[in-house]
Amino acid sequence: MLTYKKIRTRVFLLLLLLMSSVSAIEIQNLSVAVDIAGKQRMFTQRMLKDYAMIGLKNSFGNPKKDLSQIMKAFEDHLDLLIDFNTDPATKKSLEKVKVLWKPIKSGLNQSPNKANAGKMQEDLEALLKQSNKAVGLFAKQTGKASGEIINISGRQRMLSQRMASLYMLKVWGVDDPKFKEKMNKAMVLFTQSLEKLMGSDMNTPEITVLLHKAKRSFMFFEMMNKSNSKFIPALIYKKSNEILKDMNTVTGLYAAQEKK
């Protein structure tokens, strides 16, 4: 059985892997742009998850450090996407993302407060929706079915963090009358998307193995959603990051096929 210390170590190593130097990222083609833009969606929900963890005074996974790193990554990725893009419609979408981000950044730099958590959730929800539009526009630019597969795969990363952030807010005591609706919608979308990915012609043996791993990790959220018991935030944090890690690798493998 994994000890709490071992779990903390694994999560820390995972965060280091996912937070590899942004300066090393180079957008070489539209498929990579779809992958990077897709991470922006995930970052909106991961920031909310970290915000709630800090509010809960739970240091598992070092959410304070993670939040700071993710905020920087979001800005750096946005600049990379703006510099790479040449499409007018996508440019407008990215400009809207930048406008929405400014006040959110200011709020995230302040100490998390339960009274402000609802507003933070709404603001990050708006940022998520606009970021999602940008991903769709980049996927459309590819003119290939593969662009949509990369888009769907990348969205799974976001959904892993969304499910976790929703539950963290609930544990914190933030009242959200649409909690159940949002959670169910996220879980249904994750299930449907996973089925579509499982049937993709782009799958390699490695991708198939990772998709099955993500499916097994997702079973925890299915169990959690059906139970009336309260789950330990650290366990939710860990399971969401397991899905994130596997789906991040899958999305990168899909995008890499376009380089061949």
**Whether 12 contacts 85, CB under 8 Å:** no
Residue with more model confidence, 4 or 221: 221
DSSP letters, 46-89, are HHHHHHHHHHTT--TT-HHHHHHHHHHHHHHHHHHHHHH---HH
Instruction: Copy the structure tokens of residue 159.
Output: 């959904």
pLDDT of residue 248: 95
pLDDT of residue 128: 97
**Among 90-99, 212-221, 228-237, 249-258, whose mean pLDDT is lowest?**
228-237
- The percent of residues above 70 in pLDDT, for the chain, comes to 90
pLDDT of residue 231: 73
For 9-15+23-259, give the CATH class: mainly alpha
pLDDT of residue 144: 85
By C-alpha distance, which of 45, 52, 55 is closest to 127?
45
- What mean pLDDT do residues 246-258 have? 92
- What mean pLDDT do residues 99-115 have? 97
Task: For residues 207 and 85, give the distance between their C-alpha atoms in angstroms, rounded to a whole number.
Answer: 28
Instruction: Copy the structure tokens of residue 251.
Output: 């999305």
- What mean pLDDT do residues 190-212 have? 97
Could you read off the pLDDT of 40-86 as tens digits, one per residue? Answer: 999 999 999 999 999 999 999 999 999 999 999 999 999 999 999 99
- What mean pLDDT do residues 222-251 have? 89
pLDDT of residue 3: 53
By C-alpha distance, which of 129, 216, 225 is closest to 181?
225
Using 50, 70 and 90 to split pLDDT, how confident is the model at 183?
very high
- Model pTM score: 0.88
DSSP letters, 84-153, are H---HHHHHHHHHHHHHHHHHHHHHTSPP-HHHHHHHHHHHHHHHHHHHHHHHHHHHHHTSHHHHHHHHH
